[in-house]
Structure 1
Amino acid sequence: MRFSPVPCEPVDFVALYAFASTHQQSVFPRLRMVNLRTLQGSVSLIGDTFTLLENGNKTVRQITEEEFLPILEQYFHLCIS
């Protein structure tokens, strides 16, 4: 997909959304991805890789399944019950 200055309507994105959310070749249905920009940097969770960037310091680590929900709550403010 390339950037275009031509105005678009919401309907223009239906096919792209359908592909991204359902097609077997799309990464989105197969891999958990959460990203959040913060005042200090960013935090991301892609698959089981947790990345925290704060004030230029980057921490990357693998998380366990048991850590997943607590990390969503603590870093992304997402409470899933």
Structure 2
Amino acid sequence: MEFYNIYFSAIRETIVSNLADGTSKLTIDKTSLSEYLIEYIPIDIQNSYVISHMEKYKKAMDELKQIKYKMNNDILSIL
């Protein structure tokens, strides 16, 4: 599931540009979306991708959270 979450995020703009209808408020009808081709990626490739990319991403996000926490504490100590 984690792989396809990333995959759908990556192709979101393409799906919207291919299927969206409307001018000010874009909509995608259920039938068009259900007929849209979603590539099947073998599970071993999915797992390899998640291991090689998501671990780095999660580590970077944890580091970012720690930096943000420190920044907030530092700004509060100035007051």
Q: Name the TM tier (shorter chain).
A: under 0.3
In terms of Rg, which structure is larger?
2
Indicate the structure with greater helix content.
2
Higher relative contact order (CA 8 A, sep 6+): 2
- TM-score scaled to structure 1, two decimals? 0.27
- TM-score scaled to structure 2, two decimals? 0.27
